[in-house]
With several copies, the nearest count.
Chain A
Amino acid sequence: MNWAEVLGAVEAMYAQKRDELNALDAALGDGDHGTALHTAFKEIAARAPELAQARPAEILKAAALTLMNRMGGSSGALYGTLFLRASVEVKDLDRLTGEDMARMWEAGLEGVMQRGGAQVGDKTMVDALAPAVIAFRDSISQGRPAAEAYEAAAAAARFGAVKTSELVAKHGRAKFVGQRALGQIDAGAASTALLFEALRNYWREKGG
C-alpha cells in the first residue's frame, strides 16, 4: 500500500464528515473540530504527489508536522503526536507489515496519552484510539492479515466512540460543560473512529 494514498483516503473521509464532526464539537467544545481536521488533511493530501515515492515514515512525519503546525489547538497536537510517534516507530522501513503497523499504532497511542494525559474513560479521542490499537494488535498477534486487523480496529474504535456518550469529560473544552456532556459523543473520539474507518476501507479495497 501507498501511505500517500492512505492519507488521501482519510482526507476524503473527513471531507464527507466535516460538518458532522463540527456539530459534535459544537455541542461540547467550540465547533471547529471537523473543519480543523479536514483543512489539515487537505493540505496533507495536496502534498501527496511530491511524497508519492517517499518511505511511509516520511509521509507520516509530513502529515504529523502539518497536523501539529497548521491545525494547531489540542487536537492538532494530539493527532500530530499520533502520527509523529508512529513515524518514528517505523523509521527507515520501506514497507510496513502488520506487525510494523501494530507497533506503530501502539507508539502513537502511547504518545497521545502521554501528551494529553487522558486515560480511557475520560471522554476523549483516547476512548476510540485505545480500543482500536488494542484490537489491531490482537488481530495481528493472532496472525490475521492487516485488512482484517483494520476491520477489528474500526469496529472497536466506533464502539469506543459511541460509548463516550455515557461519559463526563475530564479533558479538552468538553471538560468545562460538566454533566451536560452526558448523552453526547466526543468529537475527537468520533474523528478517530472515522480515521480507522478510512483505513479499513482502504485495506478492504487494496487488500494487504
Chain B
Amino acid sequence: MSARHKKLINQPENIVREMLEGFARAYPSIVRLTDAGLIVRAQPKGAGRVGLVIGNGSGHEPAMIGFVGAGLMDVNVPGEIFSAPGPERIVEGIRLAERGGGVLLCVSHHAGDRMNAEMALELCAAEGLSGVEMVLLYDDISSAPKGQEAERRGTAGLFFTWKMLGAYAETGASLPQCKALAEKVRDATRTLAVALTPGTNPISGQVMFALAEDEIEIGMGVHGEVGQGRQKLQDADATIDAMLPPILADLPFRAGDEALVFINNSGSMTQMELFILYRRVAQRLDAAGIGVYGAWIGAYATTQEMAGFALSLCRVDDELKRLWDAPARGAYFVR
C-alpha cells in the first residue's frame, strides 16, 4: 500500500484547532475564526440578505473553510476529523450568519450531518430563532440508485451549489428562493468518484481502506465509503469511458445540453493526471453533443492524501450560467 503515515502535525488532539488558526491567519482579509472555532466571512454580507451556513467534518480541506467569502458561504462550522459538528455549534453558526434575511443551513448528505442539522433546527425552534431552513445536498450516483436520489451522499459536486447559491444569495433572493435554487443546482448535478490509494486518518494514523496495487474502486465516498466495487486499474481514457456514461445516463444529460465539468482531486492526484483525464471527458462530451460551458480542475474537497478524483457535471441554463460567472472571493475559490 502506498499510504502516508508521515504527517507534519503537532498533538493530534489539537489538529483541527491549529489548522483553523493557521488558515484564518493566512487569509485575514477573507475569513475570521471565532472563539468557538467557526469560520466566518471577514466582511459580513449586506443586511437583509440570506445567510448561508454549512457544517462538515474536517479533513477535507480546503472544503469547506476555503469557500467562505463574498459570493460564497457566510459561515462554515467545522467538526472534528470526518465527524459532523454538534447541534450547538451549528446553531452558533446560524446566529452568526443571520443578517435579517433568514438563514439557509446547507447539509452535505451524510447521516451524521443530517442528524446534527435536524437537532440544530429543533434547538433553533426551541429558542425561538425563526427564519431558518435546511436543504439536503447530494450528488454521488454510486451511493443510491436512480429514483432514490434523496438517499445519495453529498460529495465533491456540491461545489456547484456552494458557488451558485453563494452568488444567488448576494442578489437579495429570499430564503425560499435560495432553498429552491440550492435544490435546482443539486438536482442538475451528478458525480462519480474513483479511488486509487487510501488516505490515512491524521489522528488515528489508520489507513482508510485497502486496495490492491492494480485495483481501483469506482464510487468510493469521501470518507472511504465503499462504492460499486473494485476494478482493475486501467488507463486514463478507459477510466473516463467507464465513469462518464453512468453519469450522463443518470440525470440524463442529452445532446444539446450545456454543462459545467468539475474534476476534484481527492488529495494526491497530480494535476497532470487530472488534465489527461479531462481531455478524455471533453472528447466524450463533444461526441455526445453536450456543450461544456466551463471546466474546473483542482483539489477542492479532499480526503486527506487519498489518490483519486471525482468527476462531476452540472447541467446549466441561463440562470445557472450567470450565477457561475458571478464574482466570488473565498480563500480557495476566486472567480
Contact = CB atoms under 8 A, between A and B. Distances in A.
Interface stretch (A51-59, A63-71, A131-139, A159-167): A63-71
Given A30-B201, A32-B204, A177-B226, A76 B86 contact: yes
Contacts of B131: none
B84 A71 contact: no
A78 interface: yes
A77 B85 contact: no
Contacts of A46: none
Interface stretch (A1-9, A168-176, A192-200): A168-176
A32 B115 contact: no
Nearest to A76: B86
Contacts of A172: 111
A76 B89 CA distance: 13
A176 B204 contact: no
Interface of B is mostly: loop
Interface in B195-250: 201, 203-204, 206, 208, 221, 223-227
A72 B80 contact: yes
A31 B119 contact: no
A80 B112 CA distance: 12
A35 B13 CA distance: 12
A31 to B, nearest CB: 5
B83 A72 contact: yes
A116 interface: yes
Interface in A26-43: 26, 30-32, 35-36
Nearest to B142: A176
A49 to B, nearest CB: 23
B111 A171 contact: yes
B82 interface: yes
A204 interface: no
A74 B111 contact: yes
A68 B112 contact: no
A76 B80 CA distance: 12
Contact of B116 (A76, A173, A178): A76
A75 B118 CA distance: 14
A95 interface: no
Contact of A72 (B85, B206, B223): B85
A26 B85 CA distance: 21
B206 A31 contact: yes
Residues of A in contact with B, size category: 20 to 34
B111 A176 contact: no
A180 interface: yes
A23 B223 CA distance: 17
Contacts of B111: 74, 116, 171-173
B112 A76 contact: yes
Interface in B111-128: 111-112, 115-116, 118-119
Interface string B47-64: 000000000010000000
B261 to A, nearest CB: 26
B221 A77 contact: no
A70 to B, nearest CB: 7
Contact of A77 (B80, B112, B224, B227): B112
B180 to A, nearest CB: 25
Nearest to B90: A69
Contacts of B93: none
Contacts of B201: 30-32
A49 B275 CA distance: 38
A175 B143 CA distance: 10
A81 interface: yes
Given A72-B86, A173-B225, A77 B119 contact: yes
B82 A30 contact: yes
Contacts of A116: 111, 115
A77 B118 CA distance: 10
User: Which 5 pairs, one residue from A and one from B, show the smallest C-beta to C-beta distance?
Assistant: A176-B225, A69-B86, A77-B115, A74-B112, A73-B83
Interface of A: 22, 26, 30-32, 35-36, 65, 68-78, 80-81, 115-116, 171-173, 175-178, 180
7 contacts: A32-B201, A68-B87, A69-B87, A73-B84, A74-B115, A80-B87, A173-B225
